[in-house]
Amino acid sequence: MELEYESSVVGISNVDQANRIFGNGFIIGQDARYSYILTCAHVIRNAKGKGGKVKVNDVIAEEVDIGAPNEADDLALLRVERLLGAPLTRRNIGYKGLSFTSFGYQNESIATTEDSKESVIPKSLHGELGELNLQRVRGQGFPIKLWTLQIKDLWQLGPSYSGAPVVVKTEAGENVVIGMLSMQRREQILAISIEELDRVWPGPTYIPFKNREDELKLILSSSAPAYYLLDAPAGYGKSTFLRELRKQFSERKWICAYLALDSSLEMDELAEAVAENLSISHLLLSHRSNYGAGYRLGSALQSYWNNSLNNSQEGLVLLFDLDPGSGNSELLERLLKEFIPELESSLETISPFYRGDNRFRVVIAGRYLNSYYNQLSIQRMPIVASRQYLSPFNYDVIHSSSVDYLKQKYNEVRQIADHILYLTGGHPGCMAKALKLYKEHGMPPQEFVDQLSNTIWTDIVKPVVSSITTKVASSSAVKKLMSNNVLRYMDYATLRKLIAFLEIPEVRDEFDLADQLTYSTSLNWNNHLLRDDITRRLIYIGLRNGSSDEFLHLCQIAQIICEEAIRDNSTFYPDMWAIEYLFQFLQQRALLINNSKQRQELRGNFMSQALPKVLDWLATGRNPQEQKMHLLRSIDEDWEFMFTVNYYLRDNEYNDDAVEELKSKINSHLIK
């Protein structure tokens, strides 16, 4: 039976026709020059042989990325300088019992009168998805998701079928790929879930948010420090940033290893994982030797570099992505005190490392690394790490990046960028997927949001919210606060009130809770809760979508706290609490912004009732003109508040009129 996506499936083979090893791949992206092909890592390793080259449908292909050998991370990406068939749409929408099809090519023996020979035969598969299994990659901090396939066809599936897509139909009749056939384990036939693709290729889902360009240039610079700690909370794009570093270092002919590390990892396991990632496991000394893990890896790299075919490489960079586990402090200590110094010492006698220009580099990314490093640095450290903090994306970055990605008119891009920022909280990965979904559907912005906002929540944002809320806290008190907090700011008085309002358990007082928050690095030194703004926004998107009544109640509690802070003349930064009161006023009315009439009614209430009341509170017992100037300056510095005012109170145009009206009302307000 002919399937609708056959032209998107390609055959992968050695450039030498005498080499019979064969596999499949499928097109997942194209640009003006290249087609990008997803396949299995083992297909590439087996097919390229000693020559090191493979071809895709008789066109020589370039290897973009490849997973570790002999692991569940069996992904590889090729590109060919030719536009082949259409890219397959990919979405993570599989579930047990869902019917699927697959199409690929398989080597089969054909008997002739003289002898037998192998021929490539097109084959289709039909079946249902079975269980979704998790399989860990040795030495790394992430599991791979694998679908079990229940196949209905009777023909024998051979190894050459690896790399074929697993395709399902949506309710609209669209073919989407949800996995790639990878391996057979005993009686089970397994396919890698398509969501794992991000491990080898950010692809079209990656949007080059502009305030990362400077950070890339800094670390890629020839004069950059050797060791970086890259600190950022969940959702700031650390993993995507590391993959981009790997890509650009590789283009500069550096040897690159990128690993996501489990916090329980032992250093000998790390040496083996890096060696396997670099395909030099055969050169690694036995762990039974008396050498440390870094020396073992260094010895293997010495042997690798002494081979004349390899000594043209410009340097070595290790990119470590630390998981959010509680043992990261201990792992960081072992890396900085043992593994990296041992490896550095081992490389000193090898060109190009003895030149002293930092040709061996390590970038370690994770959450709260600056805090961990501060605790370690009171001791004498054998190496000094340069610290870089990834900042959250502000509105200007989100908007200009969307313009570059979508290549559309300014107002249309602003409209969809505003909608997606509201729906995703500014989480880079969620925004990228939502923008890609918008680009694929080609609908007007409002129609897209009307039809697909639920899909964006359930398929894109909700899984991230679920992941964050399970990992965000250590103690039960911190977890309860973080999971039920809608306030953007915090001080001791606020903590004291929240303990009572939320009935937070197991804390003596606000100082005890502040210590717990500081220990979990949720409270920074200027007493603003959650410098991790994206996490907070995602948590209240989860509350808004999943528990709207509870969300409304929490916003009302937040408003009471803000009002009390504004009215208290001993409060530091009353302008901040005035903005927060108005912010919470709008948040409570999130369900009243779906049409223009509702927004205009809300705008009238906001400007004529809520704002004058706050301004009167703010001026009572204080210098009115001084408070006005502080408030206007603080509004200009708070992009999230300005976005919320413009989005909730807009007319039919997406512009800054609502904020401009707000500022005008503040300037003209007469204090009673």
Selection from 165, 153, 124 nearest residue 3 by Cα: 124
User: 605 - beta bridge partners?
Assistant: none
Burial annotation 641-656 (CB, 10 A radius, 16+ → b, else e)? bbbbbbbbbbeeebee
Residue 58: what residue type?
D
Using omega within 30 degrees of 0 as the cis cutoff, is the peptide bond preceding 202 cis? no
Round to whole Å and give the CA distance between 47 and 32.
28
pLDDT (tens digit per residue) in 20-53: 667 899 998 876 567 889 999 888 888 876 666 7
Task: Answer with the residue of higher pLDDT: 622 or 63.
Answer: 622
For residues 504 and 481, is the Cβ–Cβ distance under 8 A?
Answer: yes
Round to whole Å and give the CA distance between 216 and 98.
42
* pLDDT reported for residue 529: 47
The pLDDT-based confidence of 118 (bands split at 50, 70, 90) is low
* pLDDT reported for residue 453: 93
* pLDDT reported for residue 113: 46
CB atoms within 10 A of CB 457: 19
* Nearby residues of 431 by Cβ (< 8 Å), 6 or more positions away: 207, 398, 420, 421, 424
The residue-averaged pLDDT of 450-455 equals 92
* DSSP E strand stretches across 137-292: 143-151, 165-169, 175-185, 188-193, 227-231, 254-261
- Residue 69's alpha-carbon distances to 43, 137, 353, in angstroms, are 10, 10, 27
The residue-averaged pLDDT of 396-413 equals 76
Selection from 340, 330, 356 nearest residue 295 by Cα: 340
- Greatest mean pLDDT among 5-9, 193-197, 260-264, 368-372 lies in 5-9
The residue-averaged pLDDT of 655-659 equals 94
The residue-averaged pLDDT of 161-174 equals 87
Instruction: Give the pairing of strands 9-14 and 54-56.
Output: antiparallel
Element (H, E) at 334: helix 328-334
The residue-averaged pLDDT of 612-636 equals 94
> Whole-model pTM above 0.85?
no
For residues 333 and 376, is the Cβ–Cβ distance under 8 A?
Answer: yes
3-class SS of residue 297: helix
The residue-averaged pLDDT of 356-384 equals 79
Task: Starting at the earlier edge strand, list the strands of the sheet with 386-389.
Answer: 254-261, 315-322, 360-366, 227-231, 386-389
pLDDT (tens digit per residue) in 224-276: 889 998 887 666 778 778 878 887 887 788 888 888 887 778 899 899 888 87
Token pair of 487 as six digits: 């306030």
* pLDDT reported for residue 555: 93
Selection from 85, 128, 67 nearest residue 258 by Cα: 67
Residue 339: what residue type?
F
The DSSP letter of residue 285 is: P
Task: Starting at the earlier edge strand, list the strands of the sheet with 35-39.
Answer: 59-60, 54-56, 9-14, 22-30, 35-39, 76-80, 62-66
- Residue 619's alpha-carbon distances to 47, 409, 567, 632, 642, in angstroms, are 75, 43, 9, 14, 22
* pLDDT reported for residue 112: 41
For residues 305 and 311, is the Cβ–Cβ distance under 8 A?
Answer: yes
For residues 213 and 219, is the Cβ–Cβ distance under 8 A?
Answer: no
